[in-house]
Amino acid sequence: MPVFTPASGAVLKTETRLFTREPGTLFWVLVFPPLLLIAFGLIPGYREPDAALGGLRAIDVYVPSTVMVALITASLQAMPAALTGYRERGILRRMRTTPARPADLLVAQMVLHLAAALLAALLVLVLGNLVYDVALPQNWLAYAVTLALAAVASLAMGAVITSVARTAKAATAIGMSVFFPAMFAAGIYVPVQVLPETLRQIVELTPFGATAQALSQAATGSWPAWDHLAALGLWGVVLMATAARWFRWE
Amino acid sequence: MTMAIVEVKGLRKSYGGRAVVDGVDFTVEEGEIFGILGPNGAGKTTAVECVEGLRVPDAGTIRVAGLDPVRQRRELTRILGVQLQESELQAKLTVSEALELYRTFYPEPADWRPIAERLGLDTMLDRPFGKLSGGWKQRLFIALALVGRPRIVVFDELTTALDPRARRDTWKLIEGVRDSGVTILLVTHFMEEAEHLCDRVAVIDRGKLVALDSPAGLVSRSDSPTTISFRPSRPLPDAELDALPGAVSVNRQGSRLVINGTDDTVNAVITMLARNGVTAAELRVVDATLDDAFLGLTAREAEASAGRAVTAESADADAVRGGH
Ligand SMILES: Nc1ncnc2c1ncn2[C@@H]1O[C@H](COP(=O)(O)OP(=O)(O)OP(=O)(O)O)[C@@H](O)[C@H]1O
Ligand SMILES: [Mg+2]
């Protein structure tokens, strides 16, 4: 069985069209993160160099955090709600009676949410640079690799939510309860860099804490510390295995 | 010479220790329309979803065009069209997008436009699924079941949500599909639909097959294939009523006399009327329908679930017969 069939293409095309008809998802994934960055920058103190941040401005460290907001909203909230809805309403089941693979539908949804989050990331980076003069990532390759690992881990976390939630309502509830800790780990409330030592070390072990540190490091031109990347990779593998183990078509 | 295209042997499926399909056997010949009737919860959906490969039987064997629906599900999906009793599509997917999408799933799909037209869907092509009424959703699912040019189609409640005109249009469409050589397995609650469309019907009651025959065969098997009713100008002697040949029951409904029996009973009633010089106003002689046959075959179900009500009713009927 080939990995990509004409039906996979048709499903992806259709799901892309349907994705553009979801104004809510489009707003929260594509528009909200850039708006958040703009709002942060309007706070005067955030545009001043801060000794606690090693001379960086708060707005500089908020760029990677805001990039992660897009990732978190897309993979922990939008995607599980969409997929559990497809399962709950028998859409996957109906598709199971055809030669097409319902897995194509899952893959299409993951690809679309990933693409939207990456587009939002790009918007945040460009806006940060144009509006607040935040330097673009110095090491693009390191930034891209980190972002790719982070995307895999966070989509896998969304897939776990999809697997354990029986209904779309439950998925939204779980998504919400993971959302705030994830935002904290991403440094949206307090930059990860200024957390007390022990707390910071714990946060760095979580997928989004590790991402926050790795992205900040890649932004300054160096390769992120290997332990952050290793943590991300490990999370991705474990979460994907968990999702695959518990997933139900009906 | 016809050939079995669907073979079901000893099919069994339990949920929570309760057998909901309990040893069902039937075969469907190539090119026939095969109906499945039965009360709510009888196990019809469970049985046909085993045939579709969506549910895994606990025991028994199923072959559809020689394929095992569980182990060879992928091959089966290419030749089997399915309308599920319950399912949905993406709320914002339009009718034409759905038809186009499902078309791409099949190796040799049909042109969906003529199918959509036959079902009246051509006026709804741009309507999103979530904004369709129940009947229109059902028409779309009928179209989707046919768009892959299947050899066999399973409809679970073909026309339940349809208005009478759409129902007749759908029957014509299904007959056309059958005439093109497609085999059809259909679950229905409409006796008229079964009588109109089906070559043979299986009646399932509480997980067991209780009858399998042509619709006419089922009707003629009923103990009282004919109902005679009229308003006698004078009361008729009880002794003569009780002695009517072939009569299964004699009831009074107000001033009307209702006699269930056979053709012999009809003749005897006419002779009795003439002999007593009684005229019969509003005389009706009605053949039993599939409805009656169905109720007769599945009566035990009603007794089991609503025992007392049924007993009381039959006691009443006896009272009428014994002491009017
Ligand atoms: N997935 C399931 N889990 C538990 N019980 C089930 C399941 N599916 C069906 N049942 C039970 O099996 C019995 C038969 O159900 P089924 O849906 O096959 O009936 P049916 O003949 O199609 O009824 P209807 O005419 O109402 O559609 C019912 O008692 C139902 O509650
Ligand atoms: Mg059913």
Res A23 pLDDT > 60: yes
Write down the pLDDT at residue A127: 95
Q: Are residues B100 and B195 in the same domain?
A: yes
Neighbours of ion ligand 2 (CB under 5 A): B 44-45, 85
Q: What is the dihedral of CA A39, A43, A48, A52, to 10 degrees?
A: -90
Q: Does B108 touch chain A (CB under 8 A)?
A: no
Q: Is the pLDDT of residue B219 over 70?
A: yes
Main-chain phi, psi angles of A36, to 5 degrees: -60, -40
Q: How far is the CA of B306 from the centre of ligand 2 (A)?
A: 21
Q: Which ligand is nearest to the CA of B203?
A: 1
- Specify the pLDDT at position B293: 79
Are B48 and B187 members of one domain? yes
What pairs with residue B209 in β-bridges?
A: B204
- A145 located within any domain: yes
Residues B172 and B260 grouped into a single domain: no
**A1 in any annotated domain:** no
Q: Tell me, what's the pLDDT at A3?
A: 73
Binned at pLDDT 50, 70 and 90, residue B307 comes out as very low
Q: Which residues of A145-171 are buried (b: 16+ CB within 10 A; e: fewer)?
A: bbbebbbbbbbbbbbbbbbbbeebeeb
pLDDT at B304 > cutoff 60 = no
- Please report whether residue B310 resides in a domain: no
Question: What is the token pair recorded at A156?
Answer: 């896998």
Contacts of B92 in chain A (CB under 8 A): 18, 21-22
A39 domain residue, yes or no: yes
Residue A39, pLDDT > 60, answer yes
Which tens digits make up the pLDDT trace of B78-97?
999 999 999 999 999 999 99
Q: Is A4 in the B-facing interface, judged by CB distances under 8 Å?
A: no
pLDDT tens-digit readout, B107-151: 999 999 999 999 999 999 999 999 999 999 999 999 999 999 999
The pick from B37, B45, B48, B85 for probing ligand 1's pocket by mutation, whose C-beta has the most ligand atoms within 8 angstroms, reads B45
Assess whether B215 and B227 both reside in one domain: no
Q: Could you tell me if residue A103 is inside a domain?
A: yes
- Note whether B207 and B262 are same-domain residues: no
**Based on the structure, what is the number of domains in chain A?**
1
pLDDT at B314: 38
Q: Which two tokens stand for residue A40?
A: 């942060």
Do B214 and B83 reside in the same domain of the chain?
Answer: yes
Contact B77 A90 (CB under 8 A): no
Q: Taking residues A194-221, report their average pLDDT.
A: 90
Interchain contact B126–A (C-beta under 8 A): no
B66 in a domain, yes or no?
Answer: yes
**What are residue B281's phi and psi, to 5 degrees?**
-85, 150
Per-residue pLDDT tens digits for A226-247: 999 999 999 999 999 999 888 8
The mean per-residue pLDDT over the stretch B202-217 comes to 92
Query: What's the pLDDT score for residue B2?
Result: 61
Our answer on whether the CB atom of B20 is closer than 6 Å to any ligand 1 atom is yes
Same domain, B31 and B103: yes
Tell me which of B219, B249, B270 is where a domain ends: B219
Average pLDDT over residues A14-43: 95
pLDDT at position A153 over 90: yes
- Does any domain span residue B294? no
- Do the domain assignments include residue B96? yes
- pLDDT of B315 > 70? The answer is no
Residue A107: pLDDT over 70: yes
Find the CATH number of the domain harbouring B241: 3.30.70.1340
Q: Which of A1, A89, A96 sits opposite B88 (nearest CB)?
A: A89
Number of structural domains found in chain B: 2
pLDDT at B313: 38
Which of A38-47, B25-34, B217-226, B276-285 has the lowest average pLDDT? B217-226
Residue B45, ligand 1, Cβ within 6 A: yes
User: Looking at the partner chain, which of A6, A22, A98 has a beta carbon nearest the beta carbon of B102?
Assistant: A98
Query: How many Cβ atoms sit within 10 Å of the Cβ of residue B128?
Result: 18
Inspect the interface and report whether the beta carbons of B89 and A100 lie closer than 8 Å.
Answer: no
In angstroms and rounded to an integer, the radius of gyration of the C-alpha atoms of chain B is 24
User: pTM for the complete prediction?
Assistant: 0.85
Q: Is residue B295 part of a domain?
A: no
Tokens of B132: 């369709």
**pLDDT at residue A115 tops 90:** yes
Question: CA of B30 to nearest chain A CA: how many angstroms apart?
Answer: 21
Percent of chain A at pLDDT exceeding 90: 70
With bands split at pLDDT 50, 70 and 90, how would you rate the model's confidence at B300? low
How many Å apart are CA B159 and CA A193, to the nearest integer?
A: 64
Domain extent for B236: 223-287
- Look up the domain containing A216 and give its range: 6-246
Say which CATH number the domain at B71 has.
Answer: 3.40.50.300
Q: How confident is the model at residue B312 (pLDDT cuts 50, 70, 90)?
A: very low
Ordered strands of the B4-15 beta sheet: B18-29, B4-15, B59-64
**Pairs of residues, one from chain A and one from chain B, whose beta carbons lie less than 8 Å apart:** 57
Q: Assess whether B179 and B233 both reside in one domain.
A: no
Question: What mean pLDDT do residues B299-310 have?
Answer: 47
Same domain, B210 and B231: no
Question: Across residues A175-197, what is the average pLDDT?
Answer: 89
Residues B59 and B159 both lie in one domain? yes
Q: What is the pLDDT of residues B181-190, one digit of tens each?
A: 999 999 999 9
- Please check whether residues B264 and B177 belong to one and the same domain: no
> Can you list the positions of beta strands (E) in B40-151?
59-64, 80-83
Q: Does residue A93 surpass a pLDDT of 70?
A: yes
Q: How far apart are CA A244 and CA A235, in angstroms?
A: 14
Residue B292 lies in a domain: no
Buried b / exposed e along B7-31 (16+ C-beta atoms within 10 A): bbeebbbeeeeebbbbebebbbebb
Q: Is the pLDDT of residue B65 over 50?
A: yes
Indicate whether residue B202 lines ligand 1 (CB < 6 A). Answer: no
Residue B76 contacts A where some CB pair is shorter than 8 Å = no
B14 with B119, same domain? yes
